[in-house]
Structures are given as structure tokens and as C-alpha cells.
Structure 1
Amino acid sequence: MYDLTGFQRDLLYVIAGQDEPHGLAIKDELETYYEKEIHHGRLYPNLDDVVEKGLVEKGELDQRTNYYTITARGRRELEARREWEDQYVEELLSESE
């Protein structure tokens, strides 16, 4: 997970949170989050990267549309990332009390 960009981590979160989303559904979700347009030239190469790393699987809905699912490895990586983040967030929250 440490070798992913922030955008690639966000892709994992979006894919994990949806049921076999296709590329445009992922794009729409990220555009809502980032509040700006996500170009295909950014989206699809990054999707290919997380597929190549074994974090996401790509399937085919039809000849023009692919869907994406998080792999067991991808899920483990997300869980490890959340645990790592939580240690800092919990520390921050306890300091503010």
C-alpha cells in the first residue's frame, strides 16, 4: 500500500465500497469527492496499475464496459492502512479532549 499514490488508494476505497462498479461509476464517485473532473487519461491507467498490483480484479460486463472488484489482498491492504491511520487519528482526538 505504501507504494500507491493517494489517488490509487482512493480508487481502492471506492471500489471496495461499491458492488462491482464500472469505470464511469468510479469516475463519478471520485469527481464528487475531489470536486473536479477526473479525466479518462488519469483514471484508467491508475485502475490498470492497481489491477497489475493484484489489489483489484477487472472483469468484463460487455465489449465496452469493465467492472472492478477488490481482491482479498486489496481488502487486507485497506484494513492495514486503516489500522495505521487510526493510531494517529486516535492520538489526535485524545490530544484535543
Structure 2
Amino acid sequence: MTETLAATLTGFQRDLLVIIAGMTNTSGQEIKEEIEKEYSGEINHGRLYPNLDTLVNRELVEKGKTDRRTNSYDLTEEGYEALENHREWEDQYFS
């Protein structure tokens, strides 16, 4: 099931998972800064946060609170599994 789930994500959502996997207890702003490096341009809040919410709703990312204004994001076990399954699929074509 996780393999199918990863395949239903957009490339942008998979990129968010990769970034979150490499960080711990990270804020939306930190994720935004990292994804903007990869995408070479500004990512607006209207694109970032709905995609983060989708990942939370699909239980691939856990959303917590750092303080009253700041949320934190971490990959769930399902999120790691989805990335691993996707990577194994990609490896079939890069081997």
C-alpha cells in the first residue's frame, strides 16, 4: 500500500518528504527555505502549506507545535517507508 501511496504523490510532495527526512522537528519556514534552494525560486505559502497538509492527512508527516505560531514537521514511519519504496522503484531504472 505504501508503494502505491508514494506513486500518488506529486513530485513536489515527494521533494518535501525528502527534505523533511533530512531534518528533525523542522518548521514550515525551514522547509520553505530548503525547497526554494532546489526549485531556484520563491515558493509561496499557498503552495507549500496545502501540500504539507496533504502529507499530514496521508499520515506521511506528523505535524506538531513548536510554539503558538510555529508548527513543526517530522516524517512518520509510513513516510520513511514511502520514500524507501519509491527509491527502490527508481533504482530499478538506474542500475
Secondary structure at 1:24 match in 2: helix
% identical aligned pairs:
57
Structure 2: which 5+ residue stretches go unaligned?
Answer: 1-5
- Higher Cα Rg: structure 1 or 2? 1
CA separation in 2, counterparts of 1:85 and 1:77? 12
Read off the aligned partner of 1:7 and give its amino acid letter. F
State the 1:2 CA deviation.
1.1
State the 1:29 CA deviation.
0.3
Specify which of 56, 59, 63 is matched with residue 61 of structure 2. Answer: 56
Aligned length: 90
Specify which of 81, 84, 92 is matched with residue 87 of structure 1. Answer: 92
1:31-42 paired onto structure 2 within 5 Å:
31-42=36-47
RMSD between aligned alpha carbons? 0.5
- 1:46 alignment partner in structure 2: 51
Specify which of 79, 83, 87 is matched with residue 78 of structure 1. Answer: 83
1:8 aligned onto 2:10: no
Secondary structure at 1:2 match in 2: helix
- 1:67 alignment partner in structure 2: 72
CA separation in 2, counterparts of 1:20 and 1:36? 24
Structure 1: which 5+ residue stretches go unaligned?
Answer: 91-97
Runs of 4+ that moved beyond 6 A: none
State the 1:57 CA deviation.
0.2
State the Cα deviation string for residues 42-68 of structure 1 (Å, max 9, x = none): 000000000000000000001100000
- 2:3 alignment partner in structure 1: none
State the Cα deviation string for residues 30-51 of structure 1 (Å, max 9, x = none): 0000001000000000000000
- 1:21 alignment partner in structure 2: 26
